[in-house]
Amino acid sequence: MADVVLFHHVQGLTEGVRRLADAMRAGGHTVHTPDFFGGATFPSIDEGFAAVRGRGEGALHAWADEVVADLPDGLVLAGVSLGVMPAQRLAQTRPGARGAVLLEACAPPSAFGGGWPAGVPVQVHGMEHDPFFGLEGDIEAAHELVAGADDGELFVYPGDVHLFTDSSLPSHDAAATAQVLERVLALLARV
């Protein structure tokens, strides 16, 4: 079974993110859910970004490094939206990653020093017309990333909302999230 670190999105470690982790745990996997905001959640994306800016430049990545410092190699690194940034960076730069799951965001591989590491499977999931994923360049970055991966998959869902995988938010899309979980569990079962 996989050992997963799931980094939450900009609105915090919400009940919906906890439910995503629980769905992975139900598949027999160990899932760590670190909390960048120490229990705080935010009612909007803008308020979450203000809180991130308040922590200072580089704070998210420094925190993520601390989170994984005492964890063993062989992690699957996963993130939702903002949480994709530390997950993708660690998957590309921390030796021993077993896989990555990038939900609703993706950066070009060059953002973290080069191409995708050989032998590390990756899945990217996002909505086609999501204003952040589909319309701000993340989908193009995802195409580039999976094209350069030995085992890369990109899943694009119809729709135009962000944070569709968080069941505690109004943007939640239950049908799309069910597909995401089915595909993520299939990846976790084979890594």
Write down the mean pLDDT value for the chain.
96
Q: Which residue has the tokens 């890369």?
A: 152
125 is in which domain, residue-wise?
3-190
DSSP string, 102-162: EES----GGGGTSSPPTT--EEEEEETT-TTTTTSSHHHHHHHHHHTSTTEEEEEES---S
Cα–Cα distance between 12 and 24 in angstroms, integer?
19
Nearest to residue 14, comparing CAs of 188, 171, 120? Answer: 171
pLDDT tens digit sequence for 23-74: 999 999 999 999 999 999 999 999 999 999 999 999 999 999 999 999 999 9
Kindly report the number of other CB atoms within 10 A of residue 13's CB atom.
Answer: 22
Q: What three-state secondary structure class fits 56?
A: coil
Buried b (16+ CB within 10 A) or exposed e, 70-100: eeeeebbbbbbbbbbbbbbbbbbebeebbbb
pLDDT in tens, 68-106: 999 999 999 999 999 999 999 999 999 999 999 999 999
Residue 23 has a pLDDT of 98
111: which 2 tokens? 């953002």
pTM metric for this prediction: 0.97
Structural domain tally of the chain? 1
**Domain with 14 in it: what CATH number?**
3.40.50.1820
26's CB contacts (< 8 A; 6+ apart) are: none
What b/e sequence results for 142-159 when a residue is b if at least 16 CB atoms lie within 10 Å of its CB, and e otherwise? bbbbbebbebbebbbbeb
In which order are the strands placed within the sheet that holds 30-32? 30-32, 3-7, 75-80, 99-103, 122-127, 152-157
Q: Tokens 């050992």 label which residue?
A: 3
pLDDT tens digits along 129-186 = 999 999 999 999 999 999 999 999 999 999 999 999 999 999 999 999 999 999 999 9
What tokens appear for 36 in the block?
């960048």
Q: How far apart are CA 65 and CA 174, in angstroms?
A: 32
